[in-house]
A and B are shown apart, each in its own frame.
Chain A
Amino acid sequence: MTISLPAVPLPATINPWFAATMIAAVVLASTTGEVLTAAAMKSIGDLDAIRAHSGLKDAIRAVLTSPLFFAGVFFLALAFFSLLFALNHLNLSLVAPASASLTLVTNAVAGKIFLKENVDRRRWAAAVLVCVGVYLLAH
């Protein structure tokens, strides 16, 4: 997800390690957030089925009573604020595509390790293709 904000001119004296650290913080926080949210939704079960069975209210309640979901939202919020922080120091045209595309690859790795998802060759190829594609599109 990209956030459209006015671009801040890149200061000439920016340390590349500092820039990399800021982008890494965004990527790490958003990957953690995505994985926790995905784990929460998997543990709740099919929302469509819950809604069909016991109504929209119960589906919403199932989500809002999951501690794992709030842990995920916490890290997604952290990712949002680290993105704002990074935008304060770096150009939007660097931060947005770099973080959006790197997150796709880190999520494939995290999905395999933590969510035990079956990341086969097809999904690796997709993660890499979409990663490069999003970089080109958002740049």
Chain B
Amino acid sequence: MVHHSLTPRQYLILGLVAVSAPLGDSCLSRGMASMPPITLEHPGTLIAAVFTPWIALGIALLIGFFASYLTALSWADLTFVLPATAFGYVIIALLARFWLHEAISPERWAGIVLVTLGVGFVAQGPSLTQHPAPEPEESADHELVEPKVETR
């Protein structure tokens, strides 16, 4: 199967990768900021923190992030997926601007433009490197890197 272009479903997964990581981080940050300071003398409070709503939501989002990230890596190159993940920063900055009405400094606007340009560049190219297979019949699976270690 040749993956030069992505299916709508695969775009959806890349979108989940981009959105869930920064949203999850924000939930963790919000949850931890509202907790009283945690000291090493009372590590139990850290366990209790896991069950507060914001932190639980953050953890759920980060689990969703990891699952969709792994799925994306199973059909696209690392150098394709990573810039897509960075697009999440742009989404968060724009959400902060238009939803929370936070001010965005000129530097951050410049950052938004650069990340968007970069993501636009990779998105135009192929998502997966095709490796010439030694046997033409086996070109379907994209065997990479791992040289098979044969124990004799």
Contacts and interface: CB of A to CB of B under 8 A. Distances in A.
Contacts of B74: 41-42, 44-48
Contact of B114 (A3, A47, A132): A132
A137 B88 CA distance: 11
Interface in B73-103: 73-75, 77-83, 85-86, 89-90, 93
A62 B100 CA distance: 41
B142 A42 contact: yes
B37 to A, nearest CB: 9
B132 to A, nearest CB: 11
Given A4-B25, A34-B78, A137-B89, A120 B125 contact: yes
B49 interface: no
A47 B83 contact: no
Interface in A97-139: 100, 104, 107-108, 111-112, 114-120, 122-123, 125-130, 132-139
B82 A104 contact: yes
Contacts of A100: 86
Contact of B124 (A38, A43, A46, A122): A122
B53 interface: no
Contacts, number: 157
A139 B107 contact: yes
A107 B118 CA distance: 15
A2 interface: yes
A5 B32 CA distance: 8
Nearest to B116: A133
B106 to A, nearest CB: 9
B57 interface: no
Interface of B: 1, 9-10, 21-22, 25-26, 28-29, 32-33, 65, 70-71, 73-75, 77-83, 85-86, 89-90, 93, 107-108, 110-119, 121-122, 124-126, 129, 131, 141-146
5 contacts: A47-B71, A116-B129, A126-B122, A137-B112, A139-B111
Given A43-B145, A122-B122, A132-B111, 4 more contacts: A115-B145, A123-B79, A134-B111, A136-B107
